A and B are shown apart, each in its own frame.
Chain A
């Protein structure tokens, strides 16, 4: 059997896969970094990849030479020379890996301290944005404590500034991850962690929960929206404004439904939110319902009527019997929650 020929044929195939297989979606993949932290991680991943590719090539080369040269021909009963070892060779393949690992050890340590540096950026000083993140089954809460408001599911940051995140968990362990911008860190009940992220350009970056947290772990997505500083300031100002409660028309009806069904007990609108459900202050600008569904009226209605079928194990009560008129008013009201106009 021509083992090496077959194996040789697979090598270009795997390279081809690597090159043509798209790098994943922009604003999600870590292979297309969009911030200084993810750029550093990407560069050092490549460094380790190059060194490890070198090791792999050496091993594979020796392996394929063996496959080509040292097969026994049928009927050949000779016994090859019995070698007990070779000190020089063995020292070589002990020392070379040590050197290679030392090369990797340097960025490992410096990078570790760079990532752990969650002091405010000295250039920005007191204006450094500081966001308290809390992981819940299965959504994310973002408290802007200095600014005095809470956002749910979508976190806004200014472009080109180091933003500090303080990580908490309400129920079980989660892990906060925006692949295109940087590394992840766990949110753990009873423990406070800190990390930082920075975006080079405006955009909506996709975030994930990376630690198994229950049945709907896969759907615990969130969005990180990076805005230019002016736009960001405008958004903050909008979030800080007193929310007008509508007094007439369908919006008032919707607000009444919102209060009568107890939605308001969990979902704050304006100000610092409660911890039971995502705050809805800027709901009209949400990209998705429930973290992953396209934000259409049909999906929103389906979610309110039967959340369990869309996100197993979430804590929101179902409202299967809400009248169509109430539902319409409620959705209209939710659609009016917009701080960006």
Chain B
């Protein structure tokens, strides 16, 4: 039998942790840093567009900002922030002690983070990537884009590996690690949507990895997959990119749907209306999400037949999404609704997302899309989906799960103020952009000429951004204030909620559940409140709990990948300090060497003894 757990210093503990809860918090911090970075870029871009012909940013810098804003927000902010909640909440909601592969979970985080750092390094080596987050060739080819784009290619490649292995881990966890009685049709909606979202990652990030590899071969090794003058095809890149890029939207928005489906029932005190329909609607959305990638390419000239097919398929997505919207509304209908900050965000999500959805149907009309495409109408549409959908859901989830994650509440007054300022700012920013697009403003323009009728709405839009920024600053103040003055939470269930994560004590013990719970229903905790004594019944006797040891290897493996990526990038630099091959191969040696060590070194983990579990149980919890 392995030894008991060793005491370690705090920093070493966080660097080596394989605990899903700590990794969840690390994802939250990393995602927040990238979110703020990309948000500041957005603010700068809106300042540049506040007046016609402003000279705040040059065209080149502006293009670098749009590229990095989009790339960071999608890959390095929204994804990790959702992963933060998925990591923290999924094992708790299914009654598991951890994810299926804790080591891989840590590896996923560190690789994602290494890729993010690699991408960010571009600023110090001749400027960021500048071909838009879609990196359309030939603009992203070696002839037209500098070394910044190599950082894009390899940064995303590395961080994509992290995302991919994390998703596989979630899939295995949800399939294998559920508590007794937690059938698939009793899974909380957040687990369901995360499950389907992870499936999408599995099938969407692989084509992305292939596409990035082809682009890397073109850029660094002189291949010609995408160079038309050499027989390559530029539209090929667009297909590969959007076969990943369209599902990516659903990868992000489905877990956001899941958060909404947790928060609304909790604060309406009602079970989710039409649970089964919600599950199947999620699956249908995911399936159709894969089938419609070419609706991003209506103006490429695919011909009327292809355009019509993709148009109709795209419209079809409105049906399952509509089912979800009405199910949320009817969850609230007849309920006893508490409007705290989490619920304000969750309930305002519903009409806001509808506004984004209806413009989605308008965009799906392929011929009329000839008007909207690549204009501010599209910018407005997808920000209604991404900010009005995903970001509102993230804030709802933050306020909802914060007490469980950090042991204290966020201040409600500051929270509500934050909601109103952010929400009003959001609509000010993006509603008028629909009109700007129709009035003839293309997207991705760093300036526009005066007296074209575009001045007023651009000005309003920028004012809205100031509101949104002020809102986020209020959130930061709230987090700091609440850390010192916030109401401490010691009870397991501060919200009177319904699902299993509220059955474990706060703070959550490292092993989550002293005894794996017996699940008897959907919303198991609520079921026990009505039909039992309000606590979960154990499915097993108290016994020693087997836990994995921490490991520094995930960090070392990702450092190796970081340098491998950097080495390939250096091959396109004018005067690399050292031979790029040394860096690239050295990095790969570190990575594969650490993997080898991991394979041959035996590590059986440790046991939490029964006395310890009993002592914890006495202190509190179920």
Contact = CB atoms under 8 A, between A and B. Distances in A.
A255 B40 CA distance: 51
B350 interface: yes
Contacts of A1: 339, 416
A29 B439 contact: yes
Contact of A94 (B138, B323, B351): B323
B300 interface: yes
Given A52-B358, A212-B131, A215-B58, A72 B439 contact: no
Given A206-B440, A217-B446, 18 more contacts: A55-B354, A66-B333, A71-B338, A81-B270, A89-B330, A101-B315, A104-B361, A107-B367, A108-B364, A111-B365, A112-B307, A172-B144, A185-B299, A210-B442, A212-B443, A218-B448, A312-B59, A312-B60
A82 interface: yes
Contacts of A18: 435
Interface stretch (B199-207, B273-281, B469-477): B273-281
Interface string B338-355: 110000100100110011
Contact of B332 (A66, A78, A182): A66
B337 interface: yes
A122 interface: no
Contacts of A211: 136, 374
Interface in A160-184: 167, 171-173, 175, 177, 179-180, 182-184
Contacts of B614: none
Given A23-B439, A212-B139, A212-B444, A70 B268 contact: yes
A21 interface: yes
A45 B521 CA distance: 47
B351 A63 contact: yes
Interface in A75-95: 76, 78-86, 89-90, 93-94
Interface in B299-330: 299-301, 303-304, 307-308, 311-312, 315-316, 318-319, 322-323, 325-327, 329-330
A66 B447 CA distance: 43
A227 interface: no
A31 B438 contact: yes
B319 to A, nearest CB: 5
Nearest to A117: B304
Interface string B575-613: 000000000000000000000000000000000000000
B300 A186 contact: yes
B277 A56 contact: no
Interface string A1-33: 101001000100010011001111100111100
A218 B334 CA distance: 52
B368 interface: yes
Contacts of B549: none
B39 to A, nearest CB: 21
Nearest to B319: A97
A296 interface: no
Interface stretch (A124-132, A187-195, A243-251): A187-195
B97 interface: no
Interface in B400-440: 416, 420, 427, 431-432, 435, 438-440
B115 to A, nearest CB: 24
B396 interface: no
A49 interface: yes
B132 interface: yes
A218 B332 CA distance: 46
Contacts of B139: 172-173, 212-214
B494 interface: no
A66 B451 CA distance: 44
A56 B355 contact: yes
Interface stretch (B8-16, B151-159, B228-236, B510-518): B228-236
Contacts of A237: none
B375 interface: yes
Contact of A172 (B138, B268, B330, B454): B138
Contacts of A209: 442
Contacts of B358: 52-53, 55-56
Contacts, number: 318
Nearest to A111: B367
A112 B311 contact: yes
A325 interface: no
B6 interface: no
B367 A114 contact: yes
Given A82-B271, A171-B138, A212-B136, A188 B315 contact: no
A217 B410 CA distance: 45
A336 interface: no
B542 interface: no
A182 B440 CA distance: 11
Interface string A127-166: 0000000000000000000000000000000000000000
B63 interface: yes
Contacts of B304: 109, 112-113, 115-116
A62 interface: yes
A223 interface: no
Interface in B352-402: 354-355, 358-359, 361-362, 364-371, 373-375
A51 B307 CA distance: 22
A25 B451 contact: yes
A84 B271 contact: yes
A173 B301 contact: no
Contacts of A109: 304, 308, 311-312
B453 interface: yes
Nearest to A192: B301
B367 A41 contact: yes
B313 to A, nearest CB: 11
B138 A30 contact: no
Contacts of B233: 190
A313 interface: yes
7 contacts: A45-B438, A84-B274, A94-B322, A175-B442, A177-B442, A190-B228, A191-B235
A76 B336 contact: yes
Contacts of A180: 440
B449 interface: yes
Nearest to A10: B427
A45 to B, nearest CB: 5
Contacts of B277: 85, 90
Contacts of A30: 371, 438-440
Contacts of A188: 234-235, 300-301
B342 to A, nearest CB: 14
Given A111-B368, A208-B440, A59 B448 contact: no
A48 interface: yes
Contacts of A235: none
A260 interface: no
Contact of A105 (B270, B315, B329): B315
A214 B63 contact: yes
Contacts of B329: 59, 62-63, 66
Given A3-B339, A70-B333, A41 B316 contact: no
B445 interface: yes
Contacts of B308: 108-109, 112-113
Contact of A116 (B303, B339, B375): B303
B126 interface: no
Contacts of A97: 318-319, 322
Contacts of B351: 56, 59-60, 63
A29 B269 CA distance: 49
A51 B438 CA distance: 18
A86 B330 contact: yes
B337 A41 contact: no
Contacts of A52: 358-359, 361-362
A172 to B, nearest CB: 4
A292 interface: yes
A236 interface: no
B335 interface: yes
A28 B453 contact: yes
A-B pairs with lowest CB-CB distance, top 9: A183-B370, A190-B228, A24-B439, A111-B367, A218-B445, A52-B358, A215-B59, A24-B453, A193-B301
